[in-house]
Amino acid sequence: MKTILLTLCKWLGLFYLAKQITARRPRILCYHGISVDDEHLFSPGVFMQANTFAGRMAILERWGYKPVSLDELYRQHTSGRYNKDTLVITIDDGWAAIEHGMLPVLKKYNFNATLYLSSYYVIKQRPVFKLSCYYLFWKYNAPFVLAADSCLKPFTSLQQLDIDNLLSIWAKLDSSYEQVILQELADYFGEDLTKWQQNGKLMFLSAGKVTAMAEQGLAIELHTHRHKFSELNLADAAKELADNQHHITQLTGKTAQHFCFPRGEYQPQQLNLLAAQQVKTATTTENELVSKNDSLLMLPRLVDNDKVSELEFEAELTGLMTLLRLAASLVKRGK
Ligand SMILES: [Zn+2]
């Protein structure tokens, strides 16, 4: 039904019209990782197929967008007026496969982009623990039967574990257990972790790759060191920011000045923390175009992923969905 309606809107020229009406509302696009195998089936919200991403960039080109940096967005905001068709591409986290799945396409179109980097797994260079556990249980859809010499034996009387059992034991252990547990789990299910190290599956970029990408013009900005923020008190949240800044400066030689809230979540009092650290802009995952009245520290984005069709993406990009949401809220208020 939605497809038929949107096709009709596009055919009637409403996408084009919406783009003109919303031209001075910047678009900040939000991306995450690229799938190297079947991760887009496991978590399509995080892992996009490379050809989906390439298709999206072709759509931007077709609609005449020339993506700019967050510094340029900030400059426009402080000048009092946003330019027409301002668009920013942001990529969250730092997944390894963006190197081959996103960078060449961005380069092809000469598109500016920003990577919000969480630095912990860049330094650790091992698969992201919790997500990898979820992935293995999803893929093999069976309980994990503990071997007699399992490192988990001292911590449980259970003979076999599901994902919840495993994570509740993990929560009581320190991080030095993570890779040992994951290796046991992978061996049990017959998954080859060395292959993951090679193809970047569920891995983050290496330090050398981040440095090389920064040199090629990718802006590297803040996303906290351990991908934690809203759940922390002010002192711990400040430390997350400082640690992240420290690693980014080491990797790029630059001071990062833009921030993305992990999972898009924050507590209101944490906004002061960002201002105190001279953060110029911060983005959430609220799905909307930017308006001139939005605070620079709570900027919405258009969250794109592998569950979104090209037509739906175009409807968001051109602002048609924004106008429809606006109309719906006016109707609701009128009732
Ligand atoms: Zn993130």
Q: How many whole angstroms from 150 Cα to the centroid of ligand 1?
A: 32
With cut-offs at 50, 70 and 90, classify the pLDDT of residue 192.
very high
CB 257 within 8 A of CB 280: yes
User: 281 and 217: one domain?
Assistant: yes
> What 3-state DSSP class applies to 105?
helix
Q: Is residue 94 part of a domain?
A: yes
Q: How many whole angstroms from 7 Cα to the centroid of ligand 1?
A: 32
User: 121 and 133: one domain?
Assistant: no
Report how many domains make up the chain: 2
pLDDT score for 1: 80
Q: How many whole angstroms from 231 Cα to the centroid of ligand 1?
A: 14
Of 198, 221, 252, the domain-final residue = 198
Q: How many whole angstroms from 228 Cα to the centroid of ligand 1?
A: 9
User: 62 and 156: one domain?
Assistant: no
Q: Distance between terminal CA atoms of the chain?
A: 25
User: Phi first, then psi: what are they for 167, rounded to 5°?
Assistant: -70, -30
Residues 15-44 have pLDDT tens digits of 999 999 999 999 999 999 999 999 999 999
Q: Would residue 159 be called left, alpha or beta, if left means φ above 0 and alpha means ψ between -120 and 50 degrees?
A: alpha
Q: How many whole angstroms from 223 Cα to the centroid of ligand 1?
A: 7
User: 121 and 228: one domain?
Assistant: yes
pLDDT score for 106: 98
Place of tokens 């991080």: 175
Higher pLDDT, 1 or 174: 174
User: 212 and 139: one domain?
Assistant: no
User: 94 and 213: one domain?
Assistant: yes
Q: How many whole angstroms from 220 Cα to the centroid of ligand 1?
A: 14
Our measurement of the distance from residue 103's CA atom to the centroid of its chain's CA atoms, rounded to an integer in Å, reads: 15
Q: How many whole angstroms from 111 Cα to the centroid of ligand 1?
A: 22
Q: Indicate if the alpha-carbon torsion angle 233, 238, 239, 245 is positive or negative.
A: positive
Q: Is residue 163 part of a domain?
A: yes
User: 42 and 101: one domain?
Assistant: yes
Any long-range contacts for 42-47 (C-beta under 8 Å, 24+ apart)? 42/134, 42/135, 42/138, 42/139, 43/131, 43/135, 44/305, 44/306, 44/307, 45/305, 45/306, 45/307, 46/95, 46/305, 47/95, 47/306
Q: How many whole angstroms from 91 Cα to the centroid of ligand 1?
A: 9
Q: How many whole angstroms from 298 Cα to the centroid of ligand 1?
A: 15
pLDDT score for 117: 98
CB 245 within 8 A of CB 222: yes
Q: What percent of the chain has pLDDT over 70?
A: 100
Burial 77-109 (b: 16+ CB within 10 A, else e): beeeebeebbbbbbbbbbbbbbbebbbebbeee
With cut-offs at 50, 70 and 90, classify the pLDDT of residue 103.
very high
135/132 Cα distance (integer angstroms):
5
> Helices marked H in 90-140 — which ranges?
98-101, 103-109, 120-124, 129-140
With cut-offs at 50, 70 and 90, classify the pLDDT of residue 296.
very high
User: 211 and 85: one domain?
Assistant: yes
Q: How many whole angstroms from 141 Cα to the centroid of ligand 1?
A: 26
Instruction: Tally Cβ neighbours within 10 Å of residue 329.
Output: 10
- Residue 31 belongs to domain spanning: 23-125+204-317
Helix-helix angle 14-21:320-334, to 10 degrees: 80
Q: Is residue 8 part of a domain?
A: no
Q: How many helices (H) and strands (E) does the chain have?
A: 17, 11
Q: How many whole angstroms from 37 Cα to the centroid of ligand 1?
A: 21
Q: How many whole angstroms from 262 Cα to the centroid of ligand 1?
A: 5
pLDDT score for 152: 96
Residues 245-278 have pLDDT tens digits of 999 999 999 999 999 999 999 999 999 999 888 9
Residues 136-191 have pLDDT tens digits of 999 999 999 999 999 999 999 999 999 999 999 999 999 999 999 999 999 999 99
User: 107 and 210: one domain?
Assistant: yes
Per-chain mean pLDDT for the chain:
96
Q: How many whole angstroms from 322 Cα to the centroid of ligand 1?
A: 24
Look at residue 332 and tell me whether its pLDDT is greater than 90.
Answer: no
Q: Would residue 23 be called left, alpha or beta, if left means φ above 0 and alpha means ψ between -120 and 50 degrees?
A: alpha
Q: How many whole angstroms from 285 Cα to the centroid of ligand 1?
A: 10
User: 240 and 299: one domain?
Assistant: yes
Strand-pair partners of 259: 222, 282
Q: How many whole angstroms from 6 Cα to the centroid of ligand 1?
A: 30
Of 147, 171, 198, the domain-final residue = 198
pLDDT score for 335: 74
User: 152 and 218: one domain?
Assistant: no
Q: How many whole angstroms from 299 Cα to the centroid of ligand 1?
A: 15
164/301 Cα distance (integer angstroms):
32
Q: How many whole angstroms from 62 Cα to the centroid of ligand 1?
A: 29
